[in-house]
Amino acid sequence: MDTPLTVEVRFKGTRKAYFHSPVPLRTGDAVVVDAERGRDYGHVTATGDVAEKKCAGSCTGCAIGQAIVGDQPAAIRDIIRPATPEDVQTHREVRASEEDVRRKVMERVRAHELVMKVSDCEWQWDRAKLTIYFTAEKRVDFRALVRDLASLFRTRIELRQIGVRDEAARLGGVGRCGREYCCSTWLKELTPVNLGLAKDQHLSLNPSQISGGCGRLLCCLKYEHEFYVSSRKRFPREGKLLRTANGTEKVVAVDIFRERVYLRSAGSESRIIPLVQLKQELAEAEPDEPMEHPAEAPAAIPEPEPSAGEQPQSPPERRRRRRRHRDRRKDEP
């Protein structure tokens, strides 16, 4: 019996899942899959070995051919069939009705006086489940709201609290670079971004300049970080003293994009030279020892040597002896 093909299927937003397909599929194909309660509609984004590797490295940690339900492994679900024109039409009608559903949900939220922001609503393809995504600063008791919405839409209701980055990925938008958000187009895996990435790239630490539309640090700081780190390894460290054709000069700054280095001599004369030229000057100078000198530490007070026949002293006694020695040195003219 042939091994079923493992495929990755993405749904609305950044939601994805892995399935087995009895028939060959290609990336971009629309399919109808077996959902938890009913059927859902999505698009194939990876097949074969690529899908297996992504599935093995996913956040669920599931093995190929299995999925995690609670704490127990369960068989991975199957793709029912490639989508027909009728399935595509049904999918479009379902998506067109979601904005009206979101407005009704917002009205019920205000009626229940809940402090939460409804970001998006998503119907399952067969309308067997309605998932409502919202953001909130604190935990929200929405049990009464769920009962109200279940009686209003006559279906299973699931409320899911998400972060502001996930909200931006679902809703989309245009960033400060003039392009669509990376998280809503090609960057499907949202990884943590910290301030240390901005420091490594020598960017301004002003939050308004390194934050995206979601109010968090820009995602591009993460996937561009490796380029900055690897590029700076080819340049001398800023603040380092170098022996060049002009004598001893200090590295003020480096420009990794134009391949230039900013130098300043002891006489406050500055110059900008290409990295290739700097390497040639350093090779010709061939310094015997590094030019960096650590700050001189203050001279330690010498400890008086014990007299002949004197027994070794314990640490407290040595400390008292050093204090008396310092006091005598201060009293000396």
Q: What is the pLDDT of residues 210-259, one digit of tens each?
A: 999 888 999 888 888 888 989 889 999 888 999 888 888 999 989 998 99
pLDDT in tens, 33-53: 998 888 999 999 989 888 888
pLDDT in tens, 41-100: 999 998 988 888 887 765 544 433 344 334 444 568 889 999 999 999 999 999 999 999
Domain endpoint, select from 54, 85, 116: 85
Identify how many contiguous H helices and E strands the chain contains and give both numbers: 11, 14
The 10s digit of each residue's pLDDT in 171-199 is: 888 988 888 888 888 886 778 888 989 98
* The two structure tokens encoding residue 248: 């001893």
What percent of the chain lies above the pLDDT cut of 90?
Answer: 35
Range of the domain at 157: 97-162
Q: Which of 162, 188, 210 is the last residue in one of the domains? A: 162
Boundary-marking domain end, from 34, 63, 85: 85
CB 260 within 8 A of CB 245: no
CATH number at residue 145: 3.30.300.20
- The pLDDT of residue 299: 43
Q: Are residues 111 and 70 in the same domain?
A: no
Q: How many angstroms separate the CA atoms of 26 and 51, rounded? A: 12
pLDDT, residue 246, reads: 83
